[in-house]
Amino acid sequence: MENAVIKSLKERRSVRSFSSKQVEAEVLDLILETATYTPTARNMQSPIIVAVQDKDEIETLRKMNASIMGTPDSDPFYGAPTVVIVLYDKNFPNGIYDGSLVMGTLMNAAFALGVDSCWIHRAREEFESEEGKALLKKWGIEGEYVGVGHCILGYRDGELPAPRARKENYIYKV
Ligand SMILES: Cc1cc2nc3c(=O)[nH]c(=O)nc-3n(C[C@H](O)[C@H](O)[C@H](O)COP(=O)(O)O)c2cc1C
């Protein structure tokens, strides 16, 4: 059965090598807006989405993320020119589910518009730290938030990776 949405969902892959071309404002805005339509528990819209394109701010995040990984000189963001962070309000017990689903929408909306992405982890540790909390404050974000993930965005430098074969017994039909 041919269907453009299904095709896009199946063809999206995590990309780990990016050109320096920035994601255009209009395209980024559409990706972000689409993500706000993600379902959330009790429709509470517990996540927030922070899009970062400022090079110095991305460098600050890179250092924090790489230090958490234990390799402070590495680039966990693979040179992507845009880093979108998803966090959730800590007062919402289902925030981790809501935020993960928002991450999925970001990646799939991006791919549908020709933009590549990858989920980069360690946002929880990043925004648990005093440095992370200070960053949120500096960005004008009040309240207590838990980091879910970073969705890096940009245009791939090279081929789209091939998907790994799907495991057996992924699906059970009863
Ligand atoms: C919760 C989660 C955390 C991830 N963290 C990272 C990460 O820190 N760095 C990275 O390169 N990829 C990360 N990924 C991407 C996965 O490695 C990738 O989705 C997986 O290998 C499947 O590849 P595909 O997305 O191309 O299908 C993460 C994915 C998820 C869902």
CB 67 within 8 A of CB 140: no
Atom 21 in ligand 1: residue holding the nearest Cα: 14
Q: What string of DSSP letters covers 60-78?
A: HHHHHHHHHHT-TTS-TTT
Q: For residue 136, how far is its CA from the centre of ligand 1 (angstroms)?
A: 24
Cβ of 60 below 6 Å from ligand 1: no
> Closest ligand 1 atom to the C-alpha of 76?
9
Atom 1 in ligand 1: residue holding the nearest Cα: 121
Residue 35 — φ and ψ, nearest 5°? -65, -25
Q: For residue 165, how far is its CA from the centre of ligand 1 (angstroms)?
A: 15
- Strand runs labelled E in 1-110: 47-52, 82-89
pLDDT at 75: 98
141 alpha-carbon distance from chain centroid = 18
Cβ of 16 below 6 Å from ligand 1: yes
pLDDT at 107: 99
Cβ of 118 below 6 Å from ligand 1: yes
- Could you tell which of 14, 74, 126, 167 is best to mutate to test the pocket of ligand 1, judged by most ligand atoms within 8 Å of the CB? 14
pLDDT at 79: 98
- Could you tell which of 8, 118, 156 is best to mutate to test the pocket of ligand 1, judged by most ligand atoms within 8 Å of the CB? 118
**pTM assigned to the model:** 0.98
CA distance 49 to 164: 29
pLDDT at 8: 98
Cβ of 14 below 6 Å from ligand 1: yes
What does pLDDT average to in each consecutive run of 10 residues of the chain (174 residues)?
96 98 98 98 98 98 98 98 98 98 99 98 98 98 98 97 97 98
